[in-house]
Chain A
């Protein structure tokens, strides 16, 4: 049979020599390799005490955006839901009433907005589809849970903190990438 590559190595079936049969030198060789790793730089970190910087293209949990005045940007246009390959997003729209102008940016808004995180595959299509700059994938890992009912994320879970009422939490939620809109926050 013709070999597919030239990396073929025939297994040696020769009987072992006395030196090889002693095993101890080979064990010692292995110990030296193991011991030498103690002085090398550790490739792991102690998560969650320490975290690694996120990749500029990291896609974590979705976040619903607000504008500078704290009004919700989403208008329930349904483009994220139609773009979603996992059909994880559902919403119900409502009309803004008089006196609600400080809550919602446009005359129509998402009264209910839900993402089923069991279904979500974090592809980021919702972010791509959004014409209103209203949904972003943040730098948060999707949490684990023993029960499924905790995975239906409503608006109260998804909305970013109000920048007027809670500017610190808002800043934190923006993440490291928001500080460098032209590049990303992880160059250093």
Chain B
């Protein structure tokens, strides 16, 4: 006989909600939604065992439960603490939490380089968002930051260990989505780094999901490297029939060119849950090899949070599927204009023969000057850690 599931009443930031026993504080707060949900850098609801490492989700428990109403002596990690009946939690209403989170962000940023202008993750980086919402404006750190050589792991993924915050999410992806993990954390403490032994290539079909789970720009898509900033691209939902995955993705387009393919994200920045309840991981074929608009059936623009920099393009309605009508036809009654400046005659940007989306790697100087198929090879130079 199935035991009846207990329902616990928990109050987070003065909002009371009923959740089943065994729910963590973080998930209870996410049920309420909005600002009440603590930020999380390492916890990922679709990855078993994740969480408890980054400490950004710390909350104050004012009252443990109705049975034992004493407060918890220290702030607790909400992703690893289960709720109790009658528990009272303070998140953004607690000054202690705000203060501690500021400290946590400072620690996360100690070895993180300030190379957002170069990093492809900028604009959708969780650490960037977290720093803007919770961090201090200045760093107090005066010592040398740790730096690593940039590394290609496989043909598609590039690892920037310098940017890593050791959240372990990619390790869980490799453990739980692929049948054989070939990368992991080497060394320990300050020296610990994510790597593959002898730069062993990651070739599993679902390894590309590491890019999606990485909260920072440590694991990035090599086929998208330096192609464009995410906020200039137009995210559209699309699907295709795929024999390896469900094929439901977000395309990041410029015009009709598909610059990047990612899994669809939910409001917490995690991969969406499909209608059958499974997480919507996508395979490497969909992610890296289908870079033509003809490969996909476009459903419509992706819904992006209004406050996100990505939404500055204001793509709504039928954008991406229907070309707007040429207004000249209407006002000139089919006549050709006498003085028309074709922007391609004078502009060197967006040249007609250069198709950035079809390049395997980043563009280089030759790409724009005579050799439209040239792309960058991996240059392993050490980034300056400033």
Contact = CB atoms under 8 A, between A and B. Distances in A.
Interface residues of B, number: 34
A148 B337 CA distance: 15
B68 to A, nearest CB: 50
Interface in A29-84: 75-79, 81-82
A115 B356 CA distance: 21
A150 to B, nearest CB: 8
Interface string A86-118: 000011111111101000001110011110000
Contacts of B118: 75, 77, 106-108
B381 interface: yes
A132 interface: yes
Given A93-B226, A97-B364, A149-B345, A75 B350 contact: no
A17 to B, nearest CB: 62
B371 to A, nearest CB: 12
Contacts of B356: 92
Nearest to A154: B348
Interface in B41-95: none
A165 B351 CA distance: 31
State the majority secondary structure of interface residues on B. loop
Contacts of B363: 92-95, 111
A152 interface: yes
Contact of A95 (B309, B341, B350, B362): B362
B367 to A, nearest CB: 6
B379 A82 contact: no
A79 to B, nearest CB: 7
B364 A78 contact: no
A91 B368 CA distance: 12
Given A79-B117, A100-B365, 15 more contacts: A81-B232, A82-B312, A92-B350, A92-B368, A93-B363, A94-B226, A94-B364, A94-B368, A96-B379, A97-B365, A98-B379, A106-B118, A108-B226, A111-B367, A112-B368
20 contacts: A77-B122, A79-B117, A82-B229, A82-B312, A91-B349, A92-B349, A94-B367, A94-B368, A95-B225, A95-B363, A95-B379, A100-B365, A108-B117, A108-B118, A111-B363, A114-B348, A131-B116, A131-B117, A148-B341, A149-B341
Interface of A: 75-79, 81-82, 90-98, 100, 106-108, 111-114, 131-132, 148-149, 152, 154
Interface of B: 115-118, 122, 225-229, 231-232, 309, 312, 341, 343, 345-350, 356, 361-365, 367-368, 376, 379, 381, 383
